[in-house]
Structure 1
């Protein structure tokens, strides 16, 4: 696979997707506080308050040395306000060597097409980078994210990670 350089930013009509900044760690922790209580505990703030702002800042510092784009800040053009994140992650839950699309936006910005717009830019970059496909896991109860993935051309594979407590995790894929 031929790799294309990681761009400084991905731009859409309304958004700029760029590397996250350490000084934005507080914002990214805020996203954690808005998560649905059905989200598994390892993706929510724990009883000790972790991840803390310092934990997230350390993660952002570590990302600065990575060659892949990772999770990018989603910023509205014109205002410069960060409304969420979107990007590609490689954490081994999907097919080996294939990136997962991940996105999360402030609840106040839901329903305006930002997740679809950001996801479209990241999926296009993944194709330019030579990835043959991208996958995404989504909880069966998360209808909004399932709609975004469908708009982006992802299809549900029928593969399901059963979870009676937090909702089944559905595997979706998008051929590029």
Structure 2
């Protein structure tokens, strides 16, 4: 899977967005957008409250890690969210994303997800997976628009969402 990460482009562009690795210049925006209970309540790995130290840790440790391919979503030069792939041995890469609440409902998540799905496919991914809370209809709709289908449910084992029911979703490029 790590080879797939290195085949992904460093930057992606859509009609309205530029997707590029978040940098320390984005730490304030990430902290401001993530320090929101309405964002946090949907996220498996996001601490709360969320500080600039958390944003710097994300940028310096998570973004460059072998297990992640992270793209900041830039709209008119302003960071509005993050989309990425998480790589785990023996599993299809997992698509995940978040948007700052002011940017919900404008199609940005779908636009970013479609761009990353296309890039992953072009880089040689055979399949992708994702998951969303059962009651997060917005996220499940984004994933459906990006080509994912629901494959089942499970109770989240750990993280912020431990004990909550998740809808598992998959996208198979070979079918």
TM-score (norm 1): 0.80
2:69 equivalent to 1:75: no
Rounded Cα–Cα distance in structure 1 between residues aligned with 2:146 and 2:86: 17
User: For 2:8, what is the secondary structure of its paired residue?
Assistant: coil
Counterpart position of 1:15: 17
Counterpart position of 2:101: 107
Indicate the structure (1 or 2) with the bigger Cα radius of gyration. Answer: 1
Match for residue 46 of structure 2 among 27, 43, 58:
43
Rounded Cα–Cα distance in structure 2 between residues aligned with 1:122 and 1:134: 11
User: For 2:164, what is the secondary structure of its paired residue?
Assistant: coil
Counterpart position of 2:8: 6
2:144 equivalent to 1:137: no
Question: Per-residue deviation at 1:68?
Answer: 7.2
**Comparing 133-142 with 51-60, which one deviates more in the overlay?**
51-60
2:152 equivalent to 1:158: yes
User: For 1:43, what is the secondary structure of its paired residue?
Assistant: coil
Counterpart position of 1:55: 54
TM-score (norm 2): 0.81
Gaps of 5+ in 2: none
2:41 equivalent to 1:27: no
Gaps of 5+ in 1: none
Match for residue 149 of structure 1 among 134, 139, 143:
143
